[in-house]
Amino acid sequence: MSWVDGKPAPGLSVHDRGLAYGDGLFETIRVRSARPQLFERHLQRLQDGCQRLGLACDLPALSAEILAFSAALGDGVAKLVITRGEGERGYAIPRASAPRRVLLGSPAPAYPIENAEQGVHLFACATRLAEQPRLAGLKHLNRLEQVLARAEWQDPAFAEGLMRDMSGRVVEGVFSNIFLVRDGRLSTPALHRCGVAGVMRAEIIEQARQLQLAVQVQDIAFEQLLCADEVFLCNSLFGIWPVRGLMEHRWSAGPLTRKLQGRLVELSGNS
């Protein structure tokens, strides 16, 4: 199932700047019972990204389009891609660019239930994230760093990979964000240099504060990660996965991780 600019279509022009330069953004939205989940957070991140990249975005019209696509999809994943549209060869932005909207529907991923219940092992990726503050936090179309990182392991014992920046600071997973618990305090890496500001990350920060849990957004050294009492991953498709292993280090799913998992289940049941 695919739509381009609000209509069923098989694909894009070969001259599209999203293909040529990664000039655009995307959102991966979980759809349940024809309703997009964390919808307002996805729209807010998209609006922020469009403003930062100078992409025209009619948010009310786009919102209506996503809702209609979700209704047609029913259950699964809706991937929204916004590109700057077609252009001639060269990096210069066309004066009369016309952004393109692509919606792709797919089944929900079948992650093992054990990932959430028992936790996962992390692979320590050698690929580092380049620091580019102008793109930090955005879910832009250039994902080559993640492609290279994911190619580093084939062993199914590892459900995710840990990514660091050029200085060795902990940033995120290949397709998730990361949280640490130390002495009852929750922390997650600052993303002003690189990384993706996930919508589930934002939701967890908000829910933690509603539960009156202390939350810090800060630089996290690799050594701090290894000294954590609890570690967990999150994204908008799988929710929360406790981390139980990284190299020789081992953790268990602690009380704060379980509390936040329960909070998300409670909220999804009320949605």
Question: Tens digit of pLDDT for each residue in 136-158?
Answer: 999 999 999 999 999 999 999 99
Which among 70, 87, 106 is the end of a domain? Answer: 106
Instruction: Assess whether pLDDT exceeds 60 at residue 271.
Output: no
- Same structural domain for residues 230 and 162? yes
Which among 106, 133, 153 is the end of a domain? Answer: 106
- Same structural domain for residues 167 and 93? no
Question: Rounded to 5 degrees, what are φ and ψ at 186?
Answer: -95, 135
Instruction: Assess whether pLDDT exceeds 90 at residue 95.
Output: no
| Dihedral class, residue 107 (left if φ above 0, else alpha if ψ from -120 to 50, else beta) | beta
- Same structural domain for residues 93 and 154? no
Which among 48, 80, 106 is the end of a domain? Answer: 106
Mean pLDDT on 93-108: 91
Domain membership of residue 51 as a residue range: 2-106
- Same structural domain for residues 63 and 155? no
- Same structural domain for residues 141 and 245? yes
How many domains does the chain contain in total? 2
Residues above pLDDT 70, as percent of the chain: 99
Question: What positions carry a catalytic annotation?
Answer: 28, 139, 172
- Same structural domain for residues 145 and 182? yes
Mean pLDDT of the chain: 94
- Residues 205 and 179: their CA atoms lie apart, in Å, by 10
Tokens for 126, please give them. Answer: 């050698």
Q: Given this model, what pLDDT does residue 270 score?
A: 56
Instruction: Assess whether pLDDT exceeds 80 at residue 269.
Output: no
- Residues 177 and 11: their CA atoms lie apart, in Å, by 30
Instruction: Assess whether pLDDT exceeds 60 at residue 178.
Output: yes
Burial annotation 162-172 (CB, 10 A radius, 16+ → b, else e):
bbbbeeebbbb
Cα 48-165-133 angle, rounded to 5 deg: 30
Long-range contacts of 267-270 (CB under 8 A, 24+ apart): 267/207, 268/32, 268/37
Mean pLDDT on 201-207: 96
- Same structural domain for residues 141 and 259? yes
